[in-house]
Structure 1
Amino acid sequence: MRIKIFTILFLALTKIVFSQEQKMSVTEIAEFKATIEKESKTINTIKTDFIQYKHLDFLSKDIETSGKMSFKTPNLLNWQYTKPYNYSIVFKSNKIFINDQGKKSIIDAGSSKIFEKINKMIVGSVSGNMFDDKEFAISYYKTKEFYIAKLSPKTKEISKYIQQIDLYFPINDVIVSLVKLNEPSGDFTKIVFKNKILNAKIDDSVFSN
């Protein structure tokens, strides 16, 4: 009897898990990509709040930070952390400008592949160019709430640091609402976007660090 009950519970649980995330069909993928590419061309700026969760296996609780993100076409991006500390990262002119509570530094994005790829994925997700990256194998899934693009690096150089990047697009929305960066160790960073505002005026000074 116990075996029978266990089998029923296992089958029920399996059905629930697999019904939550399903592979998209070839037709669905084509329609999804076409919609993203078409609608993203109408987006010039994005302003949004975000909450970032850093998961480390040796910690019982994820490290939580929050702030604001500003994007302006074609490739201006500002991550402004405000809690629990002030820290900003600006991607501009193929350089990364960091302001750590007044201590400033500059990194050449071309010499930092990880920063370059993360920036490219975020910018690409709103510019419609993310699907053309030759360095990532992309698989597509869907749930009742999201379309999900999972990007796996093809090069050993990137896969040493990033095992997979998951991009979550809400149904009937062309803007990513959640980004998950999965590391080979099992640790991950999850970024949730909230209160998005599209095509609001953003002065270039926002991207001065």
Structure 2
Amino acid sequence: MRTILITLSMILGISYTHAQTMKKLIHTQDFENRLAKEAQTMQSIESDFTQVKYLDILDEKVTSKGKFYYQKSGKIRMEYAQPINYLIVINDSRLKIVSDGKKSVMSLTANKMMNQMQDMLTACMIGD
């Protein structure tokens, strides 16, 4: 359970951090049309990321860095390199987490909350 909570906080932290730097979109229809067009042709995404989390239980911010991969067939991979090595892989309906050399695999279809998380991440990638 602790691993799931850590994973969720990491994933949501990325979304929250990115949302802080966004500007208000004025011409939404133009943006939506372009996003839909680009999403149809996009097959994969690879990116470095920096995630900054502000947690109430800690007095300082927590900064993580790593690589993010997305493949259109529903595959997501997040490799955390700093401050610790941590791996999250979503492959269709399975979630794999590797932390401190310990691997855990769970079915996303069996866990409604994690299934919704996968849907949200996929929707972000395809512009839905």
Q: TM-score of the superposition, structure 1-length normalised?
A: 0.46
Cα displacement (A) at 1:57 = 2.1
Structure 1's 59 and 94: CA in aligned 2 closer, same or farther, altered over 3 A? same
SS of 2:73 mapped into structure 1 = coil
Counting only pairs closer than 5 Å after superposition, residues 84-99 of structure 1 correspond to structure 2 as 84-99=83-98
Q: Which residue pairs with 1:138 in the alignment?
A: none
Q: Which residue pairs with 1:6 in the alignment?
A: none
SS of 1:85 mapped into structure 2 = coil
Distance in 2 (alpha carbons) for counterparts of 1:86 and 1:47: 18
Q: Which residue pairs with 1:113 in the alignment?
A: 112
Kindly provide the CA deviation profile for residues 146-186 of structure 1, in whole angstroms up to 9, marking residues without a partner as x: xxxxxxxxxxxxxxxxxxxxxxxxxxxxxxxxxxxxxxxxx
Percent identity between matched residues is 26
Matched, 1:76 2:75: yes
More strand as a share of residues: 1
Deviating above 3 A after TM superposition, structure 1's stretches of 4 or more consecutive aligned residues are: 20-24
Q: Which residue pairs with 2:44 in the alignment?
A: 45
Structure 1's 33 and 92: CA in aligned 2 closer, same or farther, altered over 3 A? same
Letter in 2 for 1:102: G
Q: Which residue pairs with 2:12 in the alignment?
A: none
Structure 1's 52 and 114: CA in aligned 2 closer, same or farther, altered over 3 A? farther
Distance in 1 (alpha carbons) for counterparts of 2:91 and 2:31: 29
Distance in 2 (alpha carbons) for counterparts of 1:23 and 1:67: 28
Distance in 2 (alpha carbons) for counterparts of 1:122 and 1:34: 20
Letter in 2 for 1:126: M
What residue ranges of structure 1 are gaps of 5+ in the alignment?
1-19, 131-209
Letter in 1 for 2:108: A
Structure 1's 21 and 79: CA in aligned 2 closer, same or farther, altered over 3 A? closer
Aligned residue pairs total 107
Q: Which residue pairs with 2:103 in the alignment?
A: 104
Kindly provide the CA deviation profile for residues 93-115 of structure 1, in whole angstroms up to 9, marking residues without a partner as x: 21101111321111111233333
Letter in 1 for 2:82: K
Q: Which residue pairs with 1:34 in the alignment?
A: 33
Distance in 1 (alpha carbons) for counterparts of 2:86 and 2:47: 16
Distance in 1 (alpha carbons) for counterparts of 2:87 and 2:55: 22
Distance in 2 (alpha carbons) for counterparts of 1:109 and 1:67: 23
C-alpha RMSD of the superposition = 2.1
Q: TM-score of the superposition, structure 2-length normalised?
A: 0.72
Distance in 2 (alpha carbons) for counterparts of 1:112 and 1:65: 26
* Structure of greater relative contact order (alpha carbons < 8 Å, 6+ residues apart): 1
Counting only pairs closer than 5 Å after superposition, residues 129-148 of structure 1 correspond to structure 2 as 130=128
Letter in 1 for 2:111: S
Q: Which has the larger radius of gyration?
A: 1
Distance in 1 (alpha carbons) for counterparts of 2:49 and 2:112: 24
